[in-house]
Each structure stands twice: as structure tokens, then as C-alpha cells.
Amino acid sequence: MNNLTLEYKNWIIELKSKVRSTQIKAAFAVNSALIHFYWELGKMIAEKENVWGSKLIERVAKDLKEEFPDMKGFSTTNLKYCKLFYQYFSKKTKLENELNLSPQLEDELLKLAFNLPWGHIKMLIGKIKDKQVAKFYIQKTIQNNWSRDVLDIQIKSDLYNRQGKSVNNFKNTLPEPMSDLANQTLKDPYIFDFLTLSEDYKEKDIEKQLVQNITKFLLELGKGFAFIGQQYHIAINENDYFIDLLFYHTKLKCYVVIELKNTKFKPEYTGKLNFYLSAIDSLIKDETDNATIGILLCKDKNNIEAEFALRDINKPIGISELNFTEVLPDNLKSSLPTIEEIESEFKNFEE
């Protein structure tokens, strides 16, 4: 038996002993313990792979599955992710030098990552290279208790680069720290890719489908929005007015008026929204509520025009674009198969 084979045998015995000593069967039911174990496993593999070569993972996977046949997590693929997990958050990786990251950020990220499920971690290290961006998504996942599917949606929709990017006058109309919180609450653009609209859709069609898909709509709006009503009626001097969408934000503790415009931004839109905010503040808002905030969603906007339009308005308003990725002609939309029909075809194919 050569020295290399003997060294590996001693090492795999040590690794198996570590699995037993940490009572990994019980630890698999506790997320933090599992993630810590995967980190240690990835560290051990990464350190020895430099010595024993790229085939090490396949050999370790085989030996661990033979020793612990009832345990999951020892596949070749999962062991590769364990190694990537260690390398991603390790101070020894090239990525740290390339991004010029501080050890403090590395340690903070790792501590945060230990609070995530394994599936979330694999998604992050597979899709996010910039660790500052990774920190953003990790914190948001923990704060909002995002499922893996929701995290995937937020990454694909580029939430990191959309949040806090609306044109608004919050610094001039809201006190600190509410102005900063309100700014971070808004996005630009808002992406409503779950809507299916005909080519000649109108504002009322957007509004109707947003309400019909209220769960997805609230997910895109963000945490804290509670839906109050659609075409919310207010009466002023015997005249009737109807607000497109009215919400209450539980964290900002204020009403939020959303107006939809299926056109490019026009300065006069802010005047009408300002009128609605005054009405809600006077007729609906309680003395314990903060000032009502307005969100104007337009098909397109020029930021300079939007900034000029808000310059002398004393009510808090944010202006963002709304985007759709699925706009279908009526004749095509009616001919498309439903999800149920597609699933049925797959079942027939498998049979």
C-alpha cells in the first residue's frame, strides 16, 4: 500500500468519525447544524483536493454512501456544492482578492449564511458572484422569510439594482428615518411579468389583473403592503373620485396611493396624485398615521422631467416605471394551452 493510499484511508476514517461524532442524523433535522457540517465538509475536501486531485470528490461520495447508506447529502453533486460553499465564503479564495473584500465582510456573510436553508445557499453561490450583492439577498431572505422560489424570482428580476431607485421627493417631504425607509421601499422599475395582456390593453386591464393576482402583486411591492381597495371611492364637495389602488404600509404606518398610467410620464400626473394624497390625509388618515405616500407607475418616464415635477410638491411621491414581459394578441392568447393541458401532455409522453 503506497503512502498516498494510506493517507487517504486515514483521512476518510477521520471524516467518517466526524460524521458520527456530530450525530449528523439528528443534525440533519436542524438547519444551522447541517449548514455548519457542510461548511466543514467542504473545507476538508477543498484542502485535500489540491493534494489528491479532482477525482477526490467522486471517491469520497462513494465511500460515504457505502458507510452511511440511509443518509442524504453525500452525492457527488452535493459534495461539489459543499466545496464551493467553503470556497465562496473562505478568506483563501481568489474571489476575495478580485473583489477586494474585507475579512469582516467575509465573516459577516458566513454568519448570515448559516441561517439559510441549503437550497438557498446553493442558489446564491451559483447565481451571485458579487458578495455585496449576495449579502443583500441573504439579508432580504432572512428578513422576509423568502422561500427558494421567491429568492429565485427576486434574483432574476434584479431586485438589488431596482430597490431604492425611484424618482421621489421623500427627503424633502418626510422626516428621518422614514424618508430613507420609504425610499428603500420603492423600486424602479416594477416588473409585473405575471400579467397576460392583449395588445390594446388599458389601464383598467392592468389594475384588474393586478388585483386578481394580488399575492404576486404584493410580492413585487415588497414586505409591509396591505391591500385596502381598488377604485377606492372618495367624495369631495359632492364630486366623486376613484383612486386606482389604495394600500396601507404596516412598517411605514401610512396609507399608500398607487396610480397607474399606461402612458409616458406627464408632469400633470403628479398634480392629480398630490390631490388624492391631500384627500386621504384629510378624510381617511388617523392622527396616529404618518403622512400618506403616493406611487405613480408609468409606462415610461424621463427622470429629469420627473424630478422637476416633484420639486415644489409638498406631499411624498415616488415615480417609477412598470414593465411587462408578456403581452399577447387576443387570438394567440386564446389558442395557447393551459398549464393543465401541458401537464397532461407530459404525462401521456411519459406513459
Residue 271 located in a structural domain: yes
Do both 150 and 175 map to the same domain?
Answer: no
**How much of the chain, in percent, has pLDDT values that exceed 70?**
84
For the domain that residue 292 is a member of, what is the CATH number? 3.40.1350.10
pLDDT of residue 209: 93
pLDDT of residue 218: 93
Q: Measuring CA to CA, how many Å separate 201 from each of 204, 205, 264, 269, 290? A: 8, 6, 15, 20, 35
Do both 175 and 155 map to the same domain?
Answer: no
Per-residue pLDDT tens for 34-80? 898 899 999 999 988 888 877 899 999 998 888 888 888 899 999 99
pLDDT of residue 71: 82
Which has the higher per-residue pLDDT, 169 or 27? 169
pLDDT of residue 5: 74
Which has the higher per-residue pLDDT, 161 or 200? 161
Do both 321 and 271 map to the same domain?
Answer: yes
Residue 120 located in a structural domain: yes
pLDDT of residue 103: 61
Residue 349 has pLDDT above 60, yes or no: no
Of 102, 136, 159, which residue constitutes the final position of a domain?
A: 159
Residue 318 has pLDDT above 90, yes or no: yes
Q: Which of 60-64, 164-168, 180-184, 290-294 has the lowest mean pLDDT?
A: 60-64
Q: Which of 85-94, 181-190, 332-341 has the lowest mean pLDDT?
A: 332-341
pLDDT of residue 2: 57
pLDDT of residue 95: 46
Per-residue pLDDT tens for 194-230? 988 887 888 899 999 999 999 999 999 999 999 999 9
pLDDT of residue 134: 93
Residue 3 has pLDDT above 70, yes or no: no
Q: Measuring CA to CA, how many Å separate 348 from each of 43, 55, 335, 342? A: 46, 40, 21, 10
| Residue 268 structural domain | 162-330
SS3 for the chain, per residue?
CCHHHHHHHHHHHHHHHHHHHCCHHHHCCCHHHHHHHHHHHHHHHHHHHHHHCCCHHHHHHHHHHHHCCCCCCCCHHHHHHHHHHHHHHCCCCHHHHHHCCCHHHHHHHHHHHCCCCHHHHHHHHHHCCCHHHHHHHHHHHHHHCCCHHHHHHHHHCCHHHHECCCEECHHHHCCCCHHHHHHHHCECCEECCCCCECCCCCHHHHHHHHHHCHHHHHHHHCCCEEEEEEEEEEEECCEEEEEEEEEEECCCCEEEEEEEEEEECCCHHHHHHHHHHHHHHHHCCCCCCCCCEEEEEEEECCHHHHHHHHCCCCCCEEEEEEECCCECCHHHHHHCCCHHHHHHHHHHHHC
pLDDT of residue 19: 75
Do both 57 and 72 map to the same domain?
Answer: yes
pTM of this structure: 0.76
Residue 18 has pLDDT above 80, yes or no: no
Do both 194 and 288 map to the same domain?
Answer: yes
| Number of domains comprising the chain | 2
Nearest residue to 243 (alpha-carbon basis) of 296, 310, 307, 306: 296
SS3 for 14-35, per residue?
HHHHHHHHCCHHHHCCCHHHHH
The pLDDT mean for the chain works out to 85
pLDDT of residue 343: 45
Residue 341 located in a structural domain: no
Do both 13 and 105 map to the same domain?
Answer: yes
pLDDT of residue 133: 93
Do both 35 and 146 map to the same domain?
Answer: yes
Do both 237 and 207 map to the same domain?
Answer: yes
Do both 108 and 207 map to the same domain?
Answer: no
Residue 196 located in a structural domain: yes
Do both 173 and 298 map to the same domain?
Answer: yes
Residue 243 located in a structural domain: yes
Residue 335 located in a structural domain: no
> What mean pLDDT comes out for the span 248-277?
96
pLDDT of residue 325: 65
Q: How confident is the model at residue 249 (pLDDT cuts 50, 70, 90)?
A: very high
pLDDT of residue 9: 81
Residue 339 located in a structural domain: no
pLDDT of residue 348: 45
Do both 152 and 188 map to the same domain?
Answer: no
Residue 105 located in a structural domain: yes
Do both 11 and 147 map to the same domain?
Answer: yes
pLDDT of residue 196: 85
pLDDT of residue 168: 97
Instruction: Report the alpha-carbon distance of residue 124 to residue 154 in Å, rounded.
Output: 11
Per-residue pLDDT tens for 73-112? 899 999 999 999 999 988 544 545 554 556 666 778 889 9
